[in-house]
Each structure stands twice: as C-alpha cells, then as structure tokens.
Amino acid sequence: MSDARSRMVARAAREIAPGMVVNLGIGLPTKVVNYLPADFPVCLHSENGLTGIGPTLPYDKADRNLIDAGGAYVSTIPGSAFFDSAVSFALVRSGRLDLTLLGAFEVAQNGDLANWKIPGKFSPGAGGAIELAQKARRVVVMTTHCDRKGNPKLLEACTLPLTAKGRVARIYSDMAVVDVTLEGFALIELAEGVSLPELREATGAPIAIPAGDIPTF
C-alpha cells in the first residue's frame, strides 16, 4: 500500500469508537483493523453471519466453514456468535449497526453513494451493500480521491446507479478527510503533502475550506 493510503487507513481507524458494532466493507475498509489495538473493545459484524470477527488465518490453519463476507478465512474470538442471513441483516436494518465503512465509485455532495454497478461494464449485484449503506447509523466512505483514470470520485451528483441516497456522512481519501454537510463537501483534514489547489483540482464539486490552519494526517 502506498504511504498516503496507509495514512488514510490509519486515520479512518479513528472512526471506530469503543463499544461500537461495525461492518467493514471488502477491500481497503477491512484493513482498518490492523490499526486498532488488540484489546480494543469493538464488535465487528460480517454479513454472512458472524459477530466478533477474529484475525485472518493462513490456509493451513483455516476452518473451511468460517469465512467473512469477502471470502477471507477468519477466526473467532471469545464471545463471537454465528447466525443465519436473516438475523444478520435484522441487525443491519434495525439500527444496531453503529458504523459501516464502505468503498465507493462515486460520492455526491448530498451524500448519495454509488458503489455497486457500472452499467455495461460491471454489474455483479450489490450483495448486502444497499442495506449497509441505507441503514447503518453512520456511513463512512474510504476511497482513493480519483479513479484509475484520474477522474474525481467526489461529485456534484452521482452519474452511476445509486446504492443509497443521502447517507454518506464522511469520506476518507488518500488526499483528504471530507465531511458531507447540508451545504455540500467540507474539508476537515488534508493528507500531508497535498495542497489546496491540488485538492480542488481533484474534486468534482465545490469544497468548503475551514478558516485557519488545516490539520494534516
């Protein structure tokens, strides 16, 4: 992982407060656990029917019946629980899920999220993403600031099919921490070495800049 990405993941890990029930999306969000102390009190949820996700295991130590929603061979910790898919999403929809960290193709300045379909190119289905994005108490996005072609992912409006409307509260990118407010995007922190003109250039919507010194991560 690039240095900027590692710092983004480390910064995003501070979203997780003691006592929370948290679902981490596949990919970058899963990596935030590496930045939590081993004894940090948090309950990680996996859509396929597990609360209390333990460390990922090497193949020779893995249990063939114990995976996370991304297919990684994980383990249990003292107090873990297994349950079926209906119970798993009852937890998500009923308000018991405090936080979800998700990836994104596009995020709009009103908090709309698109992360499941690129018509004509990528449409494998949303799995549990729609319910996570629509019902977690707090929805946070972790993403590179631009796509692989350098196009902004933070936009005035999403162009791709939506996952959920108006639900994203904050974005952690490799360039900045950005909040979604009633007035649109607002800069909270800048990644070290990123200038304001660079950030504006890479952002596809207006972004409010705080007065005074801007904290870095």
Is residue 62 part of the contact set for other proteins (CB under 8 A)? yes
Q: Which of residues 11-40 bind other proteins (CB under 8 A)?
A: none
Nearest to 189 by CA among 205, 175, 207: 175
Count of CB atoms within 10 A of residue 90's CB? 12
Is residue 216 part of the contact set for other proteins (CB under 8 A)? no
In the complex, least distance from residue 85 CB atom to other proteins, rounded to whole angstroms? 4
Q: Which two tokens stand for residue 45?
A: 């949820």
**Cα–Cα dist 99/139, whole Å:** 6
Is residue 54 part of the contact set for other proteins (CB under 8 A)? no
Burial 158-178 (b: 16+ CB within 10 A, else e): bebebbbeebbbbbbbbbbbb
47 catalytic, yes or no? Answer: yes
In the complex, least distance from residue 122 CB atom to other proteins, rounded to whole angstroms? 9
Among 19, 38, 78, 86, binds other proteins (CB under 8 A): 86
Is residue 2 part of the contact set for other proteins (CB under 8 A)? no
Q: Which two tokens stand for residue 26?
A: 């596949």
- Specify the residue, 85 or 151, whose C-beta has the smaller distance to other proteins: 85
- Specify the residue, 14 or 122, whose C-beta has the smaller distance to other proteins: 122
Q: Which two tokens stand for residue 79?
A: 């107090």
Is residue 46 part of the contact set for other proteins (CB under 8 A)? yes
Q: Which of residues 137-176 bind other proteins (CB under 8 A)?
A: 161-165
Is residue 130 part of the contact set for other proteins (CB under 8 A)? yes
Nearest to 144 by CA among 176, 184, 187, 189: 176
**Cα–Cα dist 21/28, whole Å:** 18
- Specify the residue, 82 or 217, whose C-beta has the smaller distance to other proteins: 82
Q: Catalytic amino acids?
A: 47
